[in-house]
Amino acid sequence: MAMRAARGLSILILLFFAWANVLAWSSAAQAAEARRIATTDNSDYFGFDLRSDQNVTIDQCKTTCLGDPACRAFTYNKKAKWCFLKSDYNQLKTFNGAVAGKVVNIDGDPDIGAPPELAFFPNWMADQAQQYRNKLLGPAYDKPTEGMAALLNAAEQAVLTGDHRSAMLKYEAAVSVLPDDGQLWLNLARETLAVQPAASTSEASTLPANGTSAAFNAYKLLRTTKTRAEVLALLGNGLDKRDLYRPALQAYEASLALNPSPAVQADYADLKARKGFRVVDHTIDADTSAPRICAQFSEDLVKTGVDYAQFVTVDNAPPKGVEAKDKQICVEGLEHGQHYDVTFRAGLPAAIGEVTAAPVVLSIYVQDRAPSARFTGDSFVLPAGARRGIPIVTVNMNAAEMKLYRVGDRSRAQLLSGYQFLHQLDGYDI
């Protein structure tokens, strides 16, 4: 009985180790599947030598590097059949007859294809992004001496400590080595836009410009839903910093269409409340016989086909009259000396296709007309008969102090022949 139990236990132990080996092999296989070799003909990754293997094929060289966690690149000499494994890599050097290879990690997210054109992104900014790329690849830029692993480790440590400026510089150096790596451009954009500009410098303009350029360069390279949504949100951030609010809103909208991130939604809502289609001011025309209130909007209104009266209430009742033109809606039918709550409802449309996100309530008071006095027109104001007095029209006043000026005999002929006769006089004429 004891021997039978021992055999059963032994079988269980063997099964356990066999299953553990299967799991270990599966994990190793998945790790290997996530790593690939990208090669460049007639090139060499100089330095960072790990070790060398002789008399091997290019495929054997690739397999050896993928199987060694310390290997990040290699140079293969096709004529000598030598494989030089590298612990890191930096700039590519030209070397005829050699093949340079580097280990790349394969993103598990599906490829969503080439990025569509961004109609909202100005052409001059696209040119600026290309110039920024050329600057990092040009001879005037100091190329890094560290390997990619060291650069990325330093950048990640700077990110963790909140040192965005150091992270930005490391990612710039990394991009100068791998300019076709969209993730590096994305990281560079994120860190650049997070840097606080130094006081009394041009960084207030150069940092947002570089961050936007890096984001656009990343957008052209990234091909997964997650990364493309992230870089579009960064574009929105950069455009906001550069006071291009309409393109910034469109960038956020494109990001949210790919991935409804709560954080991006919050940034979008904040920008829309600050700079989207909204009421920017209002005026009260009280010095008329028919007072009205006019609300000014940030964008042009729809010219035809929209009844804006349905979006307006006065003390929760339909308005007596509404006039909508250009960027302004005027509400008529008000009275002097009265308080009103004028509400512009959410959903009020603009010509650009955007609508107001929330209702706007304007609590106003229509004050009495300012006191004024005037003559009735261009007619003679002195009475023709024996009546005493001068006919005038007054508003909110019971009496007016007046002065009469007599034109002397010598000046009468000049007055009758000049422009002033039968015309209103102003203060400069008296």
**pTM of this structure:** 0.69
The whole-angstrom separation of Cα 158 and Cα 150 is: 12
Placement of tokens 């005999």 in the chain:
409
Domain identity same for 166 and 212: yes
105: left (phi over 0), alpha (psi -120 to 50) or beta: beta
Q: Is the dihedral of CA 313, 315, 317, 320 positive or negative?
A: negative
DSSP readout, 387-426?
Answer: --S---EEES-S-------PPPHHHHHHHHHSTTTTS---
The whole-angstrom separation of Cα 386 and Cα 366 is: 42
Which three-class secondary structure state does DSSP give residue 280? strand
164-174: average pLDDT:
97
What pLDDT sits at residue 385? 62
Closest C-alpha to 329, from 314, 346, 354, 312: 312
The whole-angstrom separation of Cα 261 and Cα 233 is: 10
The CA radius of gyration of the chain, in Å to the nearest whole number, is: 38
Pair 62, 37: CB distance under 8 Å: yes
Domain identity same for 235 and 362: no
Q: Which residues span the domain enclosing 407? A: 373-430
Average pLDDT over the chain, rounded to whole?
Answer: 87
Q: Render pLDDT for 26-52 as a digit per residue (tens, 0 to 9).
A: 333 344 457 789 899 999 998 899 999
Percent of the chain with pLDDT over 90: 66
Query: Among the residues of 34-74, which ranges form H helices?
Result: 58-67
Placement of tokens 């804006």 in the chain:
308
Domain identity same for 158 and 268: yes
pLDDT: is 310 or 396 the higher one?
Answer: 310
What is the number of structural domains in the chain? 4
Q: Render pLDDT for 268-296 as a digit per residue (tens, 0 to 9).
A: 999 998 999 999 999 999 888 899 999 99
Domain identity same for 226 and 283: no
- What token pair was written down for 357? 């996100």
Closest C-alpha to 174, from 141, 207, 125, 139: 141
What pLDDT sits at residue 369? 79
Q: Which residues contact 80 (CB under 8 A, 6 or more apart)?
A: 54
Helices 182-194, 225-241: inter-axial angle, 10-degree rounding: 30
Question: Is 4 inside a domain boundary?
Answer: no
Domain identity same for 165 and 186: yes
Domain identity same for 191 and 50: no
The whole-angstrom separation of Cα 31 and Cα 29 is: 5
Pair 400, 383: CB distance under 8 Å: no
Domain identity same for 151 and 271: yes
Question: Is 1 inside a domain boundary?
Answer: no
Domain boundary among 241, 275, 309: 275
Which three-class secondary structure state does DSSP give residue 328? strand
Domain identity same for 157 and 243: yes
Which three-class secondary structure state does DSSP give residue 14? helix
What pLDDT sits at residue 19? 38
